[in-house]
Amino acid sequence: MPTRLPQKPAQAFIDQFLLQDWDPAGAVGYDTTASPGAEAFVDLATSVHKTGESFPTLVVQGSTETSGGASTYDFVTTNGPGQMRDGQLLVTARAEDQGGENYTGDSSTYAAVDAEDIVATLIDEVEDVCIRNANGGSSEFNALGSQPVADAPNDYDETPTVLIDQCTVSYSWDRAP
Protein backbone atom coordinates (compact mmCIF):
# COMPACT_ATOMS: atom_id res chain seq x y z
CA MET A 1 0.00 0.00 0.00
CA PRO A 2 1.24 3.49 -0.72
CA THR A 3 1.90 6.10 1.93
CA ARG A 4 0.96 8.77 -0.65
CA LEU A 5 -0.74 8.97 -3.96
CA PRO A 6 1.65 9.61 -6.86
CA GLN A 7 -0.33 12.78 -7.69
CA LYS A 8 -2.88 15.02 -6.06
CA PRO A 9 -6.27 13.24 -6.15
CA ALA A 10 -7.77 15.66 -8.70
CA GLN A 11 -4.89 15.16 -11.14
CA ALA A 12 -4.91 11.40 -10.54
CA PHE A 13 -8.63 11.30 -11.38
CA ILE A 14 -8.00 13.23 -14.60
CA ASP A 15 -4.98 11.17 -15.67
CA GLN A 16 -6.17 7.73 -14.60
CA PHE A 17 -9.86 7.97 -15.41
CA LEU A 18 -11.00 10.96 -17.47
CA LEU A 19 -8.14 10.55 -19.95
CA GLN A 20 -8.14 6.75 -19.94
CA ASP A 21 -11.81 5.75 -19.84
CA TRP A 22 -13.73 8.68 -21.33
CA ASP A 23 -16.22 7.62 -24.03
CA PRO A 24 -16.74 10.37 -26.63
CA ALA A 25 -19.99 8.65 -27.68
CA GLY A 26 -21.40 9.56 -24.25
CA ALA A 27 -20.44 13.21 -24.73
CA VAL A 28 -21.68 14.09 -28.24
CA GLY A 29 -18.19 13.40 -29.56
CA TYR A 30 -16.18 15.48 -27.10
CA ASP A 31 -12.94 13.67 -26.35
CA THR A 32 -10.68 14.34 -23.37
CA THR A 33 -7.67 13.19 -25.40
CA ALA A 34 -8.28 15.53 -28.37
CA SER A 35 -5.69 18.20 -29.10
CA PRO A 36 -6.44 21.86 -28.35
CA GLY A 37 -8.13 23.46 -31.34
CA ALA A 38 -9.71 20.19 -32.52
CA GLU A 39 -13.50 20.11 -32.80
CA ALA A 40 -13.62 17.34 -30.17
CA PHE A 41 -11.39 19.16 -27.65
CA VAL A 42 -12.74 19.49 -24.11
CA ASP A 43 -10.37 21.29 -21.79
CA LEU A 44 -9.50 19.53 -18.52
CA ALA A 45 -8.06 21.44 -15.58
CA THR A 46 -7.58 21.22 -11.82
CA SER A 47 -8.30 24.91 -11.24
CA VAL A 48 -10.39 27.67 -12.73
CA HIS A 49 -7.26 29.78 -13.26
CA LYS A 50 -7.32 29.58 -17.07
CA THR A 51 -10.89 28.43 -17.54
CA GLY A 52 -12.71 30.34 -20.18
CA GLU A 53 -9.99 30.18 -22.79
CA SER A 54 -12.03 27.50 -24.52
CA PHE A 55 -15.41 25.86 -24.01
CA PRO A 56 -16.61 23.39 -22.96
CA THR A 57 -14.37 22.89 -19.93
CA LEU A 58 -14.22 20.31 -17.16
CA VAL A 59 -12.58 21.39 -13.90
CA VAL A 60 -11.73 18.80 -11.24
CA GLN A 61 -11.04 20.51 -7.93
CA GLY A 62 -9.91 19.93 -4.45
CA SER A 63 -10.25 17.07 -2.12
CA THR A 64 -11.42 16.71 1.40
CA GLU A 65 -10.05 13.47 2.80
CA THR A 66 -11.09 11.87 6.06
CA SER A 67 -10.17 8.74 7.95
CA GLY A 68 -11.58 7.17 11.07
CA GLY A 69 -10.77 7.20 14.71
CA ALA A 70 -9.63 9.82 17.18
CA SER A 71 -6.02 9.06 16.23
CA THR A 72 -6.95 9.23 12.49
CA TYR A 73 -5.71 5.64 12.08
CA ASP A 74 -8.04 2.85 11.03
CA PHE A 75 -5.70 -0.13 11.49
CA VAL A 76 -2.21 -1.13 12.52
CA THR A 77 0.16 -3.33 10.53
CA THR A 78 3.48 -4.83 11.59
CA ASN A 79 5.10 -1.87 9.79
CA GLY A 80 2.97 0.83 11.43
CA PRO A 81 -0.47 2.42 11.39
CA GLY A 82 -2.69 2.83 8.34
CA GLN A 83 -5.67 4.78 7.19
CA MET A 84 -8.62 4.08 4.92
CA ARG A 85 -8.97 7.52 3.39
CA ASP A 86 -12.19 8.75 1.86
CA GLY A 87 -12.20 11.89 -0.26
CA GLN A 88 -14.33 13.99 -2.54
CA LEU A 89 -13.63 15.92 -5.71
CA LEU A 90 -15.88 18.53 -7.26
CA VAL A 91 -16.19 18.26 -11.04
CA THR A 92 -17.57 21.32 -12.84
CA ALA A 93 -18.60 21.48 -16.50
CA ARG A 94 -18.71 24.97 -18.02
CA ALA A 95 -19.95 26.20 -21.42
CA GLU A 96 -20.80 29.62 -22.83
CA ASP A 97 -24.45 30.19 -23.61
CA GLN A 98 -24.06 31.47 -27.15
CA GLY A 99 -27.77 31.17 -27.92
CA GLY A 100 -28.61 28.09 -29.90
CA GLU A 101 -27.29 24.61 -30.40
CA ASN A 102 -23.62 24.96 -31.17
CA TYR A 103 -21.81 22.33 -29.06
CA THR A 104 -20.71 19.07 -30.64
CA GLY A 105 -17.39 17.30 -30.56
CA ASP A 106 -18.06 15.47 -33.84
CA SER A 107 -20.41 17.32 -36.17
CA SER A 108 -20.31 14.50 -38.73
CA THR A 109 -21.87 12.11 -36.19
CA TYR A 110 -23.71 14.11 -33.51
CA ALA A 111 -26.24 16.90 -33.65
CA ALA A 112 -25.18 20.06 -31.85
CA VAL A 113 -26.68 20.79 -28.44
CA ASP A 114 -27.00 24.01 -26.46
CA ALA A 115 -24.82 25.01 -23.51
CA GLU A 116 -27.28 23.72 -20.90
CA ASP A 117 -27.37 20.29 -22.55
CA ILE A 118 -23.60 20.03 -23.06
CA VAL A 119 -22.73 20.72 -19.42
CA ALA A 120 -25.29 18.12 -18.32
CA THR A 121 -23.99 15.63 -20.90
CA LEU A 122 -20.37 16.10 -19.83
CA ILE A 123 -21.27 15.57 -16.17
CA ASP A 124 -23.26 12.45 -17.14
CA GLU A 125 -20.12 11.06 -18.83
CA VAL A 126 -18.01 11.85 -15.75
CA GLU A 127 -20.50 9.86 -13.69
CA ASP A 128 -20.40 7.04 -16.27
CA VAL A 129 -16.59 6.94 -15.97
CA CYS A 130 -17.01 6.53 -12.21
CA ILE A 131 -19.52 3.71 -12.49
CA ARG A 132 -17.33 1.88 -15.02
CA ASN A 133 -14.47 2.14 -12.51
CA ALA A 134 -16.38 1.61 -9.27
CA ASN A 135 -13.64 -0.65 -7.89
CA GLY A 136 -10.86 1.82 -8.72
CA GLY A 137 -9.62 -0.05 -11.78
CA SER A 138 -5.84 -0.49 -11.78
CA SER A 139 -5.27 2.78 -9.88
CA GLU A 140 -4.39 3.37 -6.23
CA PHE A 141 -8.05 4.14 -5.57
CA ASN A 142 -10.13 1.38 -3.96
CA ALA A 143 -13.43 2.81 -5.11
CA LEU A 144 -14.98 5.61 -7.16
CA GLY A 145 -18.51 6.90 -7.01
CA SER A 146 -20.36 10.04 -7.98
CA GLN A 147 -23.52 11.96 -7.38
CA PRO A 148 -25.00 15.19 -8.65
CA VAL A 149 -24.81 18.26 -6.47
CA ALA A 150 -27.48 20.89 -5.91
CA ASP A 151 -27.95 23.20 -8.87
CA ALA A 152 -24.73 25.11 -9.38
CA PRO A 153 -25.18 28.81 -10.06
CA ASN A 154 -24.50 29.92 -13.61
CA ASP A 155 -21.97 32.70 -14.10
CA TYR A 156 -24.11 35.66 -15.15
CA ASP A 157 -21.19 38.06 -14.64
CA GLU A 158 -19.62 36.73 -17.85
CA THR A 159 -20.77 37.81 -21.31
CA PRO A 160 -22.06 35.55 -22.69
CA THR A 161 -23.35 33.77 -19.61
CA VAL A 162 -21.40 30.65 -18.64
CA LEU A 163 -23.66 27.72 -17.78
CA ILE A 164 -22.47 25.31 -15.10
CA ASP A 165 -23.27 21.78 -13.98
CA GLN A 166 -21.47 19.78 -11.30
CA CYS A 167 -21.08 16.43 -9.62
CA THR A 168 -19.16 15.16 -6.63
CA VAL A 169 -16.76 12.26 -7.16
CA SER A 170 -16.12 10.21 -4.04
CA TYR A 171 -13.04 8.02 -3.80
CA SER A 172 -11.18 5.93 -1.25
CA TRP A 173 -7.66 4.63 -0.93
CA ASP A 174 -5.58 2.90 1.75
CA ARG A 175 -2.57 4.66 3.22
CA ALA A 176 -0.16 2.40 5.05
CA PRO A 177 3.58 1.80 5.34
In the chain (177 residues long), the average pLDDT of successive 10-residue segments reads: 86 96 98 95 83 86 83 89 94 94 96 97 98 94 94 89 96 92
29 in any annotated domain: no
15 in any annotated domain: yes
20 in any annotated domain: yes
Residue length of the chain: 177
| Residue type for position 41 | F
Alpha-helical segments (H) within 25-174 = 115-132
- Per the confidence metrics, is the pTM higher than 0.85? yes
52 in any annotated domain: no
**Number of domains forming the structure of the chain:** 1
- Return contacts of 77-84, CB within 8 angstroms, 24+ apart: 77/176, 77/177, 79/176, 79/177, 80/176, 80/177, 81/176, 81/177, 82/1, 82/174, 82/175, 82/176, 82/177, 83/174, 83/175, 83/176, 84/142, 84/172, 84/174, 84/175
- Per-residue confidence (pLDDT) for residue 51, from 0 to 100: 64
Domain carrying residue 13: 8-24+84-99+109-136+161-176
- Per-residue confidence (pLDDT) for residue 52, from 0 to 100: 65
Nearest to 21 by CA among 119, 126, 120: 126
DSSP-derived pairing of the beta strands 57-66 and 43-45: parallel
- Per-residue confidence (pLDDT) for residue 50, from 0 to 100: 65
65 in any annotated domain: no
- Return contacts of 75-80, CB within 8 angstroms, 24+ apart: 75/176, 77/176, 77/177, 79/176, 79/177, 80/176, 80/177
70 in any annotated domain: no
156 in any annotated domain: no
